[in-house]
Amino acid sequence: MRLISFNYLQRQRLLILTLVLMLASVLFSITAFGFLGFYKTSNAYLGEREDIIAIYNTGSTTPFTGFIPLQLTTRIENISGVLASSPEITAPALIRGKSVFFRGVIPEEFSKLNPLTMLNGETLKLKDARSTVVGKRLAGTLNLAVGNKVLVLGALAERYLELKIKGIYESSSSLDDEAIVPLYVGQWLRGTNYETISIIRAKIDKSKWTPTLLYEAIAQKAEAPQSEGKTKPSPIEEIIPIPNIAINPENLDVKETQKFMKTYLDRYGMTQETLLILATAVFIFASATIFSASHTLIHQHEHETEVLRSLGASTKTLKLDLIFKVLPWSIAASLIGVLIAEAALLAMESSGVQALSHTIHFQPDPLLITLNILLVSAIVVLGIMRSTKKLKSQ
């Protein structure tokens, strides 16, 4: 018996089911896209290019707290196939009561890895000891303008200084939430000496080097006398001397910048798979509501289904027809829920939702959208199967 032409499901009740499914979809999408946005933003903190690698201290507990010798920069900058190298130090600080990450760099070297577009003002020079350039998002958040003077309070050391905003830049990256200062200013704010930095980022020729091979070359340079690894003075040596100190290659590692950040996320159990499982767990928690709503829909139409059975419709036919009629509503509800979640997350992003003082960017993921639809549809089908089974036994 064919039932497709029979409209025995009341539209108002279907709309109520759709609303429940849509809310569950919104909950799952916000959770999943939120976790994924945090994960991807964190991974992209140091850049997303595959030819940019990070040289760092393996004993550091976070990407911001490790130290390596600044002298290592002079040992690797002349390695054939290393196209550019940027020694950097991260210094958390406060401006107007807000948390800000200052990145101490050698501007001329840093620009080879991260070209900045100056929207206003001038570029930073290594000798600008009393100046800083800030990202456009940070400038907008703190209402900063070129020429402003701001009092900067160190977060990890009892240091403070007044800096003049020399320029506002755009990078289309997490740098737009940071302020950039000369390397030695960042070292002073961080509370460390002028011999150490947080990390060295280098641009490499991938046809010549892999992170593993480059580590071996750096280890050789680290153990060699300084004169063997240096052919020209570093720009920073014009301002501060770089003492000849021992470099232990066992404390170093070399990784692509994304894998470098992923190392720390994985260390604390924040893998992409774990975050997806957490989001799915949230959905499963809401699935009881979906299952109950499906059961309620069938129960509300018990009279109609009994009439159809008396006219010769089998339980199997009823099940297939109910699934056929309800599934389009569930798919539509899932997609509407995704759109609502995406609109909510974009509103949160525009309002400046941050993690570790960096704006989180939310992007829809086709895999998560598909998973959302499949989960909602599966639970609806299970609810229908379970409810029609009960009708058969009555």
pTM for the full predicted model: 0.69
DSSP 8-state symbol, 226: G
What would the pLDDT profile of 27-38 be if each residue is shown by its tens digit?
Answer: 888 887 777 777
What would the pLDDT profile of 135-160 be if each residue is shown by its tens digit?
Answer: 998 999 899 999 999 999 998 889 99
- Asked whether residue 161 is domain-assigned, the answer is yes
Range of the domain at 149: 71-241
Same domain for 150 and 202?
Answer: yes
Distance from C-alpha of 204 to C-alpha of 112, rounded to nearest angstrom: 12
**Residue 189 in contact with residue 154, Cβ under 8 Å?**
yes
Given a cut of 80, is residue 195 above it in pLDDT? yes
Same domain for 297 and 362?
Answer: yes
Given a cut of 80, is residue 236 above it in pLDDT? no
3-state DSSP assignment of residue 217: helix
Same domain for 210 and 322?
Answer: no
Same domain for 199 and 89?
Answer: yes
- Asked whether residue 59 is domain-assigned, the answer is no
Same domain for 38 and 78?
Answer: no
Same domain for 276 and 230?
Answer: no
Same domain for 87 and 223?
Answer: yes
CA of residue 30 relative to chain centroid, distance: 15
Same domain for 200 and 111?
Answer: yes
**Residue 74 in contact with residue 197, Cβ under 8 Å?**
no
> Which of these three, 241, 261, 288, is where a domain ends?
241
- Asked whether residue 55 is domain-assigned, the answer is no
- pLDDT of the residue at 9: 63
Structural domain total, the chain: 2
By residue count, the chain amounts to: 394
Distance from C-alpha of 149 to C-alpha of 31, rounded to nearest angstrom: 40
3-state DSSP assignment of residue 312: coil
Same domain for 225 and 288?
Answer: no
> Which of these three, 191, 220, 241, is where a domain ends?
241
Same domain for 30 and 102?
Answer: no
The helix (run of H) or strand (run of E) holding residue 363 is: none
- Asked whether residue 235 is domain-assigned, the answer is yes
Same domain for 206 and 95?
Answer: yes
- Which residue do the tokens 């892999």 mark? 210
Same domain for 296 and 232?
Answer: no
Distance from C-alpha of 73 to C-alpha of 77, rounded to nearest angstrom: 6
Q: What is the DSSP string of 169-204?
A: EE-SSGGGGEEEEEHHHHHHHHT--TTEESEEEEEE
